[in-house]
Amino acid sequence: MMLGASRQSIFRSVITRGLRQIAAGIVIGLAMALPAAWGFTRLFKNAWMNIDAFDIRVYGISTVILLVVSFSAMLLPALRATQVDPIQALRNE
């Protein structure tokens, strides 16, 4: 992909591309979760247990967990991308 690039710039490129997708997923997920939480609270408003679906701590903790898991899943492919020999990659193409 990046002929003549250093290993550090390839690693940074792979991680940056992945983080953009993760950020878009989190924003879209939160945009979809808020109306679902509103419907959930309306559905169970007479339940025996008080449920607060708009607790910011739950959204924050789940966002951090998703970020950590996603970043750890991106780490191995990013490291593998830095080990590819450019000449061998061009021969395969």
pLDDT, one tens digit per residue, over 40-89 is: 888 878 777 776 777 888 888 989 999 999 999 999 988 888 887 777 76
Higher-scoring residue by pLDDT: 47, 38: 38
Task: State residue 48's pLDDT score.
Answer: 77
What pLDDT score does 93 carry?
66
Spacing of C-alpha 78 from chain mean position: 15
- Predicted TM-score (pTM) of the model is 0.71
Query: For residue 83, which phi and psi values (nearest 5 degrees)?
Result: -95, -5
* Cα gap 63→26, rounded to integer Å: 7
User: Are residues 81 and 14 in contact, defined by beta-carbon separation less than 8 angstroms?
Assistant: yes
Q: What are phi and psi of 47, to 5 degrees?
A: -70, 160
